[in-house]
């Protein structure tokens, strides 16, 4: 199984705690699915500062293919963070080299040679979905909490597995999932925090809960769930088994400070 994760990489910096770690949607997804057994590449741009060097060291240590992780002339993206009752609180986000990131034809062609391609709402690669779709690889996309953003309507026809995260909303989850599948997604999944997840494949709804965990930091729970779910899909598991695997990994992640166990 070969997986390409296209999109963002950044540093989560906790000034009050004096701690940071390497992360980003593409990075977290890649690390988790690599640890499950997939051959994985990250396609992105990091900075030429100490954080960028740390990103490269981290991904190399995890065995991630970084042949298409470019080093830009500037700073690595940094998200300033805090913890409140063990929930992550986002502060300022300095995009650095990610502000003007572009993916070349070579990047897209390289991604297309993988079995699964992962993208996300803030990864600045959504405009390449029509081209990627033509190559035949499975595509999963993390729309996060942007459930009503116009980008969803514009891109979901090209997405096989669409992931959403619901917070407080008046939308009916099941009706929402049915709508997104009717727009072209093969399967749509909503994560609901401590309430678990609901998936819909056009035929049936699947609900799954969570594994008990002692929360240290909730960062990375969604990315790890997606990695587990998609690894299950790619290895032929049924949807409830995919939800179970995703929930298991997410529970392990929230018991550690960073986005994956070190």
Domain spans of the chain?
Answer: 2-253
Q: 105, exposed or middle or buried, with CB in 10 Å at 0-12, 13-18, 19+?
A: exposed
Kindly report the backbone phi and psi dihedral angles of residue 246, in degrees, each rounded to the nearest multiple of 5, phi listed first: -60, -45
E-strand stretches of the chain: 2-6, 10-14, 19-23, 39-46, 69-71, 78-84, 87-94, 116-120, 138-142, 161-165, 187-191, 197-200, 205-208
CATH topology of domain 2-253: 3.40.1190
Query: In the prediction, which pLDDT does 169 show?
Result: 57
pTM for this entry: 0.95
Query: In the prediction, which pLDDT does 218 show?
Result: 87
Query: In the prediction, which pLDDT does 170 show?
Result: 55
Query: In the prediction, which pLDDT does 90 show?
Result: 85
Q: Average pLDDT for consecutive 10-residue bins of the chain (262 residues)? A: 97 94 97 98 98 98 98 97 81 93 95 97 95 94 95 97 82 92 98 94 96 91 97 98 98 94 86
């Amino acid at each position: 199984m070969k997986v390409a994760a296209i999109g963002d990489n950044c540093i989560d910096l906790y000034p009050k705690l004096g701690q940071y770690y390497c992360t980003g949607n593409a990075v977290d997804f890649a690390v988790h699915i690599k640890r499950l057994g997939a051959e994985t590449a990250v396609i992105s741009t990091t900075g030429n500062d100490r954080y960028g060097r740390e990103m490269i060291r981290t991904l190399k240590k995890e065995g991630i293919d970084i042949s298409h992780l470019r080093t830009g002339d500037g700073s690595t993206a940094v998200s300033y963070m805090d913890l409140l009752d063990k929930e992550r609180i986002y502060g300022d986000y300095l995009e650095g080299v990610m502000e003007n990131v572009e993916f070349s034809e070579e990047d897209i062609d390289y991604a297309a040679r993988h079995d699964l391609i992962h993208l996300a709402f803030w990864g600045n690669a959504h405009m390449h979905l029509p081209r990627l779709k033509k190559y035949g690889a499975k595509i999963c996309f993390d729309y996060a909490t942007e459930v009503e953003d116009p980008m969803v309507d514009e891109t979901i026809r090209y997405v096989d597995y669409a992931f959403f995260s619901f917070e407080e909303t008046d939308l009916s989850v099941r009706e929402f999932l049915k709508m997104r599948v009717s727009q072209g997604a093969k399967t749509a999944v909503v994560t609901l925090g401590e309430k678990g997840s609901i998936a819909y494949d056009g035929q049936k709804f699947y609900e799954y809960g969570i594994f008990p965990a002692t929360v240290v930091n909730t960062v990375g729970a969604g990315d790890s769930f997606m990695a587990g779910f998609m690894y299950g899909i790619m290895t032929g598991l049924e949807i409830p088994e995919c939800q179970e695997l995703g929930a298991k990994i997410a529970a392990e992640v929230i018991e550690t400070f960073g986005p994956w166990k070190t």
